[in-house]
Chains A and B, each alone.
Chain A
């Protein structure tokens, strides 16, 4: 009998787990939809911004000058890792950390040995994992993920630009999951600062319009580059957010499936055990009756 009771309690706990995972899946699916909308909305802005900078560059016939475009040899590197605050999203966080540590131990190995590679973690899970690996996490910005909007994102982006301008770091890298679809995330490690020059020469070939520039070309560039950096950063956050929801949805779907399988097996075992006890009882009664007859 104790066996039966055991199975029964396992069945009820697995049922509860299944309910929880399937609810989390639903929640993630809803959040994913919202996160995807966010990405779709930012795209036109980012595209237009790039096209305006491209237009200016092609009118100037030279690469734009800005304090953010100064190319240098990296001495002090900051790796910004965009992870998540909550777990239960499969390999989402460990993948980001893996990519970040590849970057630190590959391209910036010599700086790492000198202790000049620092990390900034967005997301509690990322911080935890980075610290376990023994990296130096100088700052965190978990709150940015809780309510993701342009304002908080651009405050953080400004903070990063200050790091670069004041010379605290001379290379800033972003590591995050780029959203492809609900099941697929692409890991991206991209250079945030200094700005790579080639990305502004995209529209080199188009015709000239002889624009008026107000105030002047260089002034505009000076204002636009930080702005396009903010957009780039915001886009990375949105991408990562959508990826997180996608990853969680997939993970929870899998968990729900597993729970269903487990439940089926448990029910089968339970019924087998139940039948066995009934058979035993009948056997006892019958043999008891036989003994009386005899």
Chain B
């Protein structure tokens, strides 16, 4: 699935990923391929990403919002 992490000041990440773990407001959750459509707000915490090549990446966030739709994720983060 395709992931974009965008902050107000730059595009922090963009590419194909296997797994995304985010600190949701209603609890932390993980998104895998073909997850059902979801919109959730995020808490302050760490976003963990595993890319298609198996690289593990971490981004810290002060909160934001994530939208999963048609196997593509848009993650708007206050800072990353």
Contact = CB atoms under 8 A, between A and B. Distances in A.
22 contacts: A42-B9, A45-B7, A45-B8, A48-B4, A48-B6, A48-B74, A48-B76, A52-B67, A55-B39, A56-B39, A209-B69, A212-B36, A212-B38, A212-B39, A213-B40, A214-B29, A215-B25, A219-B25, A223-B25, A223-B63, A224-B65, A227-B78
B11 A224 contact: no
A97 B28 CA distance: 48
Given A52-B74, A52-B76, A214-B25, A44 B11 contact: yes
B45 interface: no
Nearest to A48: B74
A71 interface: no
Interface string B31-61: 0000011111100000000000000000000
Contacts of B40: 212-215, 220
A211 B26 contact: no
Contact of A44 (B6, B29, B65, B70): B6
A100 interface: no
A79 interface: no
A150 interface: yes
Interface of B: 4, 6-11, 24-27, 29, 36-41, 63, 65, 67, 69-70, 74, 76, 78-79
Interface string A33-69: 0000010011011001100100110000000000000
A116 B29 CA distance: 49
Contacts, number: 79
A144 to B, nearest CB: 15
A210 B37 contact: yes
Interface of A: 38, 41-42, 44-45, 48-49, 52, 55-56, 149-150, 209-215, 219-220, 223-224, 227, 231, 234
B76 to A, nearest CB: 6
A276 B67 CA distance: 81
A150 B37 contact: no
Contacts of B7: 45, 150
Give me the 6 closest cross-chain CB pairs, A-B, nearest first: A214-B40, A209-B37, A212-B38, A214-B26, A150-B8, A215-B26
Contact of A224 (B24, B37, B41, B70): B41
A45 B76 contact: yes
A55 B41 contact: no
B39 A213 contact: yes
Contacts of B37: 209-212
B61 to A, nearest CB: 13
Contacts of B24: 214
Nearest to A223: B41
Nearest to A224: B65
A212 B31 CA distance: 13
A57 to B, nearest CB: 12
Nearest to B14: A44
A210 B67 CA distance: 12
A60 B76 CA distance: 21
Given A212-B36, A234-B8, 19 more contacts: A41-B8, A44-B11, A45-B76, A52-B65, A52-B67, A55-B69, A56-B39, A210-B37, A213-B38, A213-B40, A214-B25, A214-B41, A215-B25, A215-B41, A219-B41, A220-B40, A223-B41, A224-B41, A224-B65
